[in-house]
């Protein structure tokens, strides 16, 4: 069970544009994230990290190859099916939090459940449980502009995990936070993966990779290296090998 593949990119390529302006953002990438595992994705600017994450989250479709989430081929679903998958199985955490300013913390977290037809009271209960898991249940009735950046990112993580979603995708989630607050956010991601979710963390910083079980390096849309758990520490000490 703990070894189950939650995310599988099978020979995935993504080409943006056509002809002279064609950009190969990803080239035949194979990638897996298993239950209980946090995988860091690193690489220079433009290497395809965000493209990998948006494909994994069903926000974009591959030019060729297939993306499976919990065994379901996202391209076989159609737009409505993919949207449903995003609300029920996939949590996304962005650098700039992306909370809805007019909604309280609890309402932001409950929203994906309510969009999925869950009754309001049940959705709020799940939202409060998710807020408790990230340590800010007491801020449930605050609006985003009444919270610090770190608190807002905790709300975003609660929204990503609410209802026990199994795949958490995080794109530079600590980019707008100070070092200490950023480490706390990574710790939350780590503990969610320890509890059975699969996590993918896009980061520029080698020391963030210390929270991951594996590091996958991209360059020009190709996986150029993979580092196992025992090598992650060496990587952090020596810096970026790619
Ligand atoms: N919608 C798009 N249209 C055209 N080209 C795109 C599009 N999205 C990404 N690209 C190109 O695809 C390549 C990979 O981009 P991507 O954003 O995935 O890289 P990245 O590794 O996440 O970069 P960064 O670290 O700067 O965020 C880049 O050359 C980028 O310019």
76 lines ligand 1 (CB under 6 A): no
CA of 16 to the centre of ligand 1 (A): 9
pLDDT-derived band at 213 (thresholds 50, 70, 90) equals very high
pLDDT at 242 over 60: no
pLDDT at 236: 61
Q: How much distance in Å is there from the Cα of 206 to the middle of ligand 1?
A: 20
49 CB within 6 A, ligand 1: yes
User: Of all atoms in ligand 1, which is nearest to the CA of residue 50?
Assistant: 22
Q: Give the confidence band of 25 by pLDDT, cuts at 50, 70, 90.
A: very high
Q: What is the pLDDT of residue 86?
A: 87
pLDDT tens readout for residues 26-46:
999 999 999 999 999 999 999
Query: Are the C-beta atoms of 37 and 234 separated by less than 8 Å?
Result: no
Residue ranges making up the domain that contains 194: 5-238
Above 70 in pLDDT, residue 1? no
Q: Is 153 in the pocket of ligand 1 (CB under 6 A)?
A: no
At residue 36, the pLDDT reads: 96
Question: Pick the residue with more confidence: 168 or 134?
Answer: 168
User: Taking all residues of the chain, what is their mean pLDDT, rounded to a whole number?
Assistant: 90
Query: How many domains are there within the chain?
Result: 1
Is 128's C-beta closer than 6 angstroms to any atom of ligand 1? no
Kindly report the CATH number assigned to the domain that includes residue 23: 3.40.50.300
The verdict on the CB of residue 55 being under 6 Å from ligand 1 is: no
């Amino acid at each position: 069970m703990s070894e189950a593949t939650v995310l599988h990119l099978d020979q995935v390529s993504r080409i943006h544009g056509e002809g002279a302006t064609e950009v190969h953002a990803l080239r035949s990438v194979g990638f897996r994230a298993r239950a209980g595992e946090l995988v860091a994705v690193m690489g220079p600017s433009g290497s395809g990290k965000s493209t990998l994450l948006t494909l994994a989250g069903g926000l974009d479709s591959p030019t060729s190859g297939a993306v499976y989430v919990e065994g379901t081929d996202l391209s076989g679903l159609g737009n409505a099916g993919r949207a449903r998958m995003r609300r029920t199985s996939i949590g996304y955490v962005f650098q700039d939090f992306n909370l809805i300013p007019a909604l309280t913390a609890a309402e932001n977290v409950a929203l994906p459940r309510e969009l999925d037809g869950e009754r309001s009271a049940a959705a709020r209960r799940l939202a409060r449980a998710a807020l408790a898991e990230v340590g800010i249940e007491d801020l449930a009735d605050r609006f985003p502009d009444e919270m610090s950046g770190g608190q807002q990112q905790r709300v975003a993580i609660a929204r990503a995990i609410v209802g026990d979603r199994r795949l958490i995708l995080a794109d530079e989630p600590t980019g707008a936070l100070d070092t200490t607050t950023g480490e706390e956010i990574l710790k939350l991601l780590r503990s969610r993966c320890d509890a059975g979710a699969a996590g993918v963390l896009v980061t520029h910083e080698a020391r963030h990779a210390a929270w991951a079980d594996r590091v996958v390096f991209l360059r020009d849309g190709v996986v150029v290296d993979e580092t196992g758990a025992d090598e992650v520490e060496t990587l952090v000490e020596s810096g970026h090998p790619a």
